[in-house]
């Protein structure tokens, strides 16, 4: 039986928590008296299943089991993690904690999704105050990695470390807040921007769409990959942050902002904001907006991942953490069968106008399989750095069935020949037992100094010969040696 997470409150945030834990291999129990809870969480899960696995270039753990419970005590019993996402009212939260602690394990982590309350406020009157901690996420929880971890003096370091380790294990970034403070860290920034935005609308300076344009076409893109201080460090030029502050610091005393002055939310202002928002986005349903948001986030995050920067760096680390493919030839369980060289989900940005995987991505998947096979037989980064590698001389791909975003694909690689300068590989791409495509590749070993064909040295020649000999007993795969239009 896998680890168990209990989700108390299945709204937008609770549903996101359920999806994150479930798709990272945890069993998830949901308690929510809302009769629509199963439908709402099911829709959140649909979005998560099409987007989250595609952030990873390896297969995620097998999905856990999701269950819904009418009894809170049943939901939390034996759970290692309990996430509270009930309405932002202290009286409700205190009542929920009392019921949770009457039934849960004493060493379970009880995290709160609260965006404003301090942990000491949540812990008031609790049976075990040190069991409750703020773990504030950002929507959508299944894609955005930041979690603000806010302890109080009642939380010991062992408990805080365990909470952080669990969050890290499911691909999140626990940001420990050094002191209890209203609204933690991130929401204080959001609140400042929100106040300024309301004033700009009230004073007739900008509309909701114009304010959103200022963010999404400007500083929002910079913040997405460098944050605030690193962005301003660059703005300081070669002299760095000190020069930036000296140059722009005096502006802080100018009457630019109204941060400490909140506009009254009159019916007129509310109507203005609501009508402008309807004009901006009212043609889309919430589900359509969520999917557009997820598509955009996956594209941005995967772009950052390709650069190994910001949130993308977290994704690379998480891939290494969950990757189950063999690292060396000795890790391969059975050399007498084709070797699994790719096991992953198809990401959203791999699909085309027909709604299925772009043909260039088939080549990418087979190229990744070839790279993995090369590494297994010793042609890894160290070998390549020493001056030897393989260049692809010829490729033939057969597209046999459609592949859609979110589909878990695996590639099985058969070595048809591995002797001298040549390496002849045949890849089969499958979804479960369904054959999707095949790729046949002839590669030539080269010297990176001369850029000409050369014999591989023993570090590669011997392991490659070992695989080739084991695969020699396999039958020739269907499609091998075929040309376009001929079978």
- Do the bridges between strand 434-447 and strand 27-31 make them parallel or antiparallel, or are there none, so unpaired? unpaired
pLDDT in tens, 410-421: 999 999 999 999
Task: Yes or no: say if 381 and 339 are a contact pair by the CB < 8 Å rule.
Answer: no
Task: State the pLDDT at residue 1.
Answer: 45
Residues in the chain: 487
Which of these, 215, 175, 177, 179, lies nearest to 194 by C-alpha position? 215
pLDDT given for residue 140 in this prediction: 95
User: What pLDDT was estimated at residue 102?
Assistant: 97
Let me know: does 184 contact 115? Beta carbons within 8 Å: yes
Q: Which residues contact 188 (CB under 8 A, 6 or more apart)?
A: 181, 182
CB half-sphere exposure, 329, CA atoms < 13 A: 20
Distance CA 359, CA 377 (A): 28
DSSP 222: H
Residue whose pair of structure tokens reads 């084991």 in the numeric block: 470
Q: Which residues does the chain have with pLDDT short of 50? A: 1
H-helix segments, 1-59:
12-23, 37-51
Q: Is residue 254 classed as helix, strand or coil in its secondary structure? A: coil
Instruction: Identify the CATH number of the domain defined by range 186-283.
Output: 1.10.1040.10
pTM across the whole model: 0.86
Q: Residue 14 corresponds to which tokens in the numbers above?
A: 């609770």
- Give the C-alpha separation, 407 to 231, whole Å: 37
Helix 286-306 × helix 311-322 angle, to 10°: 80
Burial (CB count within 10 angstroms: exposed 0-12, middle 13-18, buried 19+), residue 202: middle
The C-alpha angle 50, 54, 56, rounded to 5 degrees, equals 145
Alpha-carbon span 355 to 249, nearest angstrom: 50
What is the DSSP secondary-structure string of 99-110?
HHHTTS-TT-EE
Q: Which CATH superfamily is domain 325-471 in?
A: Hotdog Thioesterase (3.10.129.10)
On whether the CB atoms of residues 53 and 406 are closer than 8 A, the answer is: yes
DSSP H helices, 339-457, are 359-376, 381-385
The pLDDT, as a whole number, for residue 373 is: 98
**What residue segments make up the domains of the chain, in order of their start?**
4-176, 186-283, 325-471
44-54 confidence digits (pLDDT tens): 999 999 999 99
The pLDDT, as a whole number, for residue 252 is: 66
**What is the CATH class of 4-176?**
alpha beta
Q: How far apart are CA 134 and CA 122, in angstroms?
A: 9
The verdict on whether residue 10 carries a ligand-binding annotation is yes
Residue carrying the six token digits 């937008």: 12
Q: Do residues 434 and 400 make contact, with C-beta atoms less than 8 angstroms apart?
A: no
Residue 486 DSSP symbol: B
Cis peptide before 140 (omega within 30 of 0): yes
**Does the annotation list 444 as a binding residue?**
no
Residues 6+ apart with CB under 8 A from 448: 384, 387, 388, 389
d(CA 35, CA 236): 55
42 is in an annotated binding site: no
Query: What is the 3-state composition of the chain as percent helix, strand, coil, each rounded to the nearest 5?
Result: 45, 20, 35
Residue 9 assigned as binding residue: yes
Output the pLDDT for position 487.
58
Q: Output the CA–CA distances (angstroms, integers) from residue 220 to 215, 311, 441, in the order listed.
A: 5, 14, 43
């Amino acid at each position: 039986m896998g680890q168990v997470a209990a989700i108390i409150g299945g709204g937008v945030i609770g549903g996101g928590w359920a999806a994150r834990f479930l798709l990272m291999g945890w069993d998830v129990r949901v308690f929510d008296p809302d009769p629509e809870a199963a439908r709402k969480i099911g829709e959140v899960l649909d979005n998560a299943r099409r987007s989250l696995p595609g952030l990873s270039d390896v297969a995620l753990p097998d999905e856990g089991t999701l269950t819904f419970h009418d009894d809170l005590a049943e939901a939390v019993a034996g759970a290692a993690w309990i996430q509270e996402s009930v309405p932002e009212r202290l009286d409700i939260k205190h009542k929920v904690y009392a019921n949770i602690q009457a039934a849960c394990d004493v060493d379970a982590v009880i995290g709160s999704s609260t965006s404003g309350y301090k942990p000491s406020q949540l812990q008031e009157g609790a049976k075990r105050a040190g069991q409750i901690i703020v773990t504030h996420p950002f929507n959508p929880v299944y894609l955005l990695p930041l979690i603000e971890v806010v302890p109080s003096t009642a939380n010991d370091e062992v408990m805080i470390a365990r909470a952080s380790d669990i969050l890290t294990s499911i691909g999140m970034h626990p940001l420990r807040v050094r002191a209890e403070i209203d609204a933690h860290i991130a929401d204080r920034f959001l609140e400042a921007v929100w106040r300024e935005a309301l004033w700009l609308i009230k004073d007739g300076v900008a509309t909701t769409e114009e304010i959103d344009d200022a963010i999404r076409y400007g500083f929002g893109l910079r913040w997405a990959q460098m944050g605030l201080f690193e962005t301003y460090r660059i703005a300081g030029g070669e002299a760095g942050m000190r020069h930036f502050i000296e140059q722009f610091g005096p502006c802080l005393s100018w009457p630019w902002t109204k941060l400490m002055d909140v506009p009254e939310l009159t019916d007129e202002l509310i109507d203005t904001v609501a009508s402008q928002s309807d004009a901006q986005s009212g043609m889309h349903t919430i589900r359509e907006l969520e999917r557009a948001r997820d598509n955009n986030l996956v594209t941005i995050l995967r772009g950052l991942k390709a650069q190994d920067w910001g949130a993308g760096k977290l994704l690379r680390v998480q891939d290494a953490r969950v990757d189950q493919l063999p690292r060396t030839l000795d890790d391969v369980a059975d050399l007498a069968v084709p070797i699994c060289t790719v096991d992953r989900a198809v990401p959203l940005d791999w699909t085309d106008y027909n709604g299925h995987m772009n043909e260039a991505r088939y080549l990418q998947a087979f190229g990744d399989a070839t790279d993995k096979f090369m590494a297994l037989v010793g042609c890894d980064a160290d070998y390549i750095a020493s001056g030897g590698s393989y260049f692809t001389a010829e490729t033939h791909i057969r597209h046999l069935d459609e592949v859609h975003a979110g589909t878990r694909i695996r590639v099985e690689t058969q070595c048809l020949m591995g002797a001298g300068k040549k390496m002849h590989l045949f890849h089969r791409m499958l979804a479960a037992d369904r054959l999707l495509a095949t790729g046949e590749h002839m590669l030539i070993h080269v010297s990176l100094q001369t850029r000409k064909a050369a014999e591989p040295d023993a570090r590669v020649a011997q392991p490659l010969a070992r695989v080739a000999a084991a695969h020699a007993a396999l039958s020739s795969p269907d499609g091998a040696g075929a040309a376009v239009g001929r079978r």
